[in-house]
Structure 1
Amino acid sequence: MRTRKYWAPSLLAMAIASPAMASDLNVNGFMSVGASMLDKDNGTEVAGADNQGGFKQDTILGLQVSKQVNDSTSITGQLVSRGSDDYATEAAWAFVTYAVNDELDLRMGRLRIPAFYYSDFLEVGYTYNSIRPAEEVYRLPFSSVDGIDITKRFSSGNVDGSVQFYYGRYIGDFSNSGSTYDADFRNLTGISLTTNMGDFGGRISYNQAELNLQGDPPAGSDLALGILGAQALAGSTDAAEDFNITGQTSQFIAAALTYDNGTYSALAEWTALNQETDLLMDDQAWLVSVATRMGEFTPHITYSTQKDEYESGRVGQIQKQLGLATEESSITVGVRYDYDSSTALKFEIQNHDEKTIKSADGDSATLYSVAVDLVF
């Protein structure tokens, strides 16, 4: 959901100063402090929370610096510290921008992957109504890439928009089924198209990467056991080649439609993962969210769902025996209260239903959350 019209779609939009401020170093920031608690302890996983409560999972601090070096070149850096990572700090953005002209930008360095509607401001909680984006849809294990991108802005009649192409590489952690691996994802390539026409907006993106793990998966890890299990079930090493990861391609497609007339707003977003390796499941996910602004209050409701898809034939039978598939959904009801400038207080109740977890029957739980989001 878009928030008040005075807030730009990305904190980075504030980074480029006017010509009169070109000699200044600009510093901006954002912070979210949240607390959450599950109503039961039955193994259900929701936003990293448990039934004892805690503040870490939804607490984030980000600081951004930017400087217009000259008429055509600027630099931008953004450091983010996340409670979910024990407050480790990383550079989410660190790039140089060369403005070819008023409509064309070239950037190089560490960039956000433009996969989702919220990608450019993924961790700036103040820019959306919910406490966190729906996990069923926003489920990629990393969000930045080291590389280059080209953005072309355009305007035609009542339509404004941009086309962005990027290429790069990701070296870092890859999390899957509760285990973390050292990953090297090469030839990360993608393109996204964003358009706006009056109260309506849209975004579509295509992204792909070559998956590589640095070394074999550790013995006893989910991936290592999955590979051995696939070999045993298939009857031979050669027959289990489809369950290897190294050198395989992963594709991610996303599309979003938005509406916001200042009082009522809506977002619909759909995503799909297509994995060349059968050890990682193909899936589809989508969400629908609506909200209405009532003075300083914005009540909202979101339905989100994600479902893994088995391959056909023998491969699908092996995937089921390995316990790879998940199907889950959530209904989230909340209210946002803008009690002061650049500050929002949020309350939220999320009922999460795990229909299938690792090919077995799941359970459900309710998550209660509160957070304060600020930009400065």
Structure 2
Amino acid sequence: MFLQSDSRLGMRAAAFAFGMALSAGALAGDADAPGLALSGFGTLGFVHSTEREADYTNSSMKASGAGFTRSWSPEVDSRLGAQADVQLGPRWSGVVQVVSEQRLDRRYRPRIEWANIQFQVTPELALRAGRIALPAFLAADYRKVGYAYTWVRPPVEVYGSLPLPSSDGVDLTWRYPLGETRNTTQAFFGRTDMGLTPTTHVKVRRLSGFSQTAERGPLTARLSALTADLTLDIGRDLFDAFGAFGIAGDALAGRYEVDHKRATITSLGLAWDPGRWFIMGEAGHTHTESFLGTTTSMYATGGLRRGALTPYASVARVRADTPTSDPGLPVAGLAAPRLSTAVNLNVGLNALLQTIPSQTSVSLGVRWDACRGVALKAQLDRVTPRDGSRGTLINTQPGFVPGRPLQVASLALDFVF
């Protein structure tokens, strides 16, 4: 199943409908008998932004979005995915999930999101190896499956802090009760190599972390933390050029380049879902000693379920805890052409620092469960980049003005089969 484990994560009605839609493809008979179940999911979305000097998107891993590139964009949310669940016996099982969506190289080449084998050591303890979803944030297990949540997309202010949702490695999951509370403890270790474009790569080494999920009645809580050694090619030529300016240039390059820098992400999420209504919220903190910066983020969402309709409202904020600008190289006394080079390097550095997100958004939306396995959604967002940052926007142009609010309208058709 796409919606793994036994967690509702604040979306009990959506998760139940989603699970029912997938169960149609499950094999009949003994769940421990060898067999194969195939299923799929997708989103057809269109997004409009009033900002013409930048693109609104749901991830920094996208090449384009709505606004500058095109007024109405299908690239922001549209995707198609397929999943195969294999039962190999009483204790062995496996899963492969493949997703096609726009990438940084503008291609839609399918990517393997999950590919792992699980061994059920005991009824409570399971060991997995392969490509595994990182259990950060409430919607970690199904963030690519739009049908499984109420919003058009998870709040970008929080979920954008983890653009790589999986790793290659192992994890250990222990499920156990404490009184009336169902607990799930997960520890994981892994690494990731990904080519973002033909010339840009990201390497994640010594990735480790844990998550703790507790469920009691309508309450779900999840605490998670991860840490990793991060290397990213973006800005490498810029930081190499700083080396020509001696100690000052080396200090700037050492401070901001992403070369074996330790990155940490912690998050806490709470959801209360008695059925006819729900409230949920999450807070996260991301820290790196690089131009990626340090941020604190949060959101809160509430909604009502009235038959097939679910209206909802959200507020979200991501705050830059490190400066989004730097004086850079001292230029006093420099002669041409070194003066011109230093000025250009400082401009390039500050363009990178502006990518540290600082932004607020207010959202109103409605979900309509049109029929089994199909949901239509509409969402309006008022987004305001702050503190000299471009927020979560991409492809900013010379005319972009930080602090200027933009309006975003989104339509999405989510489905599972």
Could you tell me the TM-score, scaled by structure 2's length?
0.79
Report the Cα distance in structure 1 between the residues aligned to 2:45 and 2:28, rounded to whole angstroms: 34
State the one-letter code of the partner of 1:185.
V
Aligned to 1:154: 176
Aligned mates of 1:227, 1:294 — CA distance in 2? 58
| Pair 15,306 (structure 1): closer, same or farther in 2 beyond 3 Å | farther
Structure 2 CA distance, aligned partners of 1:130 and 1:357?
A: 25
Whether 1:86 aligns to 2:104 is: no
Give runs of aligned pairs for residues 1-376 of structure 1, distance below 5 A: 1-4=10-13, 6-7=16-17, 20=30, 22-43=33-54, 45-47=56-58, 48-50=65-67, 51-83=70-102, 86-139=107-160, 140-173=162-195, 181-213=200-232, 217=233, 222-225=235-238, 228=241, 235-238=248-251, 240-275=253-288, 277-310=289-322, 318=328, 322-323=349-350, 324=353, 325-355=356-386, 356-357=388-389, 361-376=402-417
Encode CA deviations 1:56-90: one digit per residue, 9 max, x unaligned: 32111111111211111011111111145532101
| Number of residue equivalences | 364
- The CA deviation string for residues 163-213 of structure 1, in whole angstroms up to 9 with x for no partner, is 0111011000469xxx98212210111100011111111001010111124
Would you tell me which structure has more strand in proportion to its own residues? 1
- Summarize deviations over 1:265-316 as a string: whole Å, max 9, x none: 01110111111x23321111110111110111000011111111127xxx97
Sort the Cα spacing of 1:240 and 1:339 in 2 relative to 1 into closer, same or farther, 3 A.
Answer: closer
Tell me, yes or no, if the aligned pair for 1:15 and 1:66 is still in contact at 8 Å: no
Question: Could you say what secondary structure the match of 2:52 adopts?
Answer: coil
Distance 1:9 1:62 in 2: 16
SS where residue 225 of structure 1 aligns?
helix
Structure 1: state its 5+ residue gaps.
none
Instruction: Return closer, same or farther for 1:361/1:80 CA change in 2, 3 Å cut-off.
Output: closer
Say if 2:242 and 2:253, in contact at 8 Å, map to a contact too. Answer: no
Q: CA RMSD in A?
A: 3.0
The code of the aligned residue for 1:290 comes to G
In the alignment, the residues of structure 1 paired with residue 101 and residue 177 of structure 2 have an alpha-carbon distance, to the nearest angstrom, of 37
Whether the 8 Å contact between 2:137 and 2:159 is mirrored in structure 1 is yes
In 1, Cα distance between equivalents of 2:178 and 2:199: 46
The SS at the match of 1:20 is: coil
Could you say what secondary structure the match of 1:237 adopts? helix
Matched residue type, 2:39 = N
On the 8 A contact 1:79/1:92 being kept in 2, the answer is yes
Structure 2 portions without partners, runs of 5+: 1-9, 59-64, 330-345, 392-400
**Identity level (%):** 25
Residue pair 1:10, 1:120 contacting (<8 A) in 2 also? no
Moved more, 81-90 or 196-205: 81-90
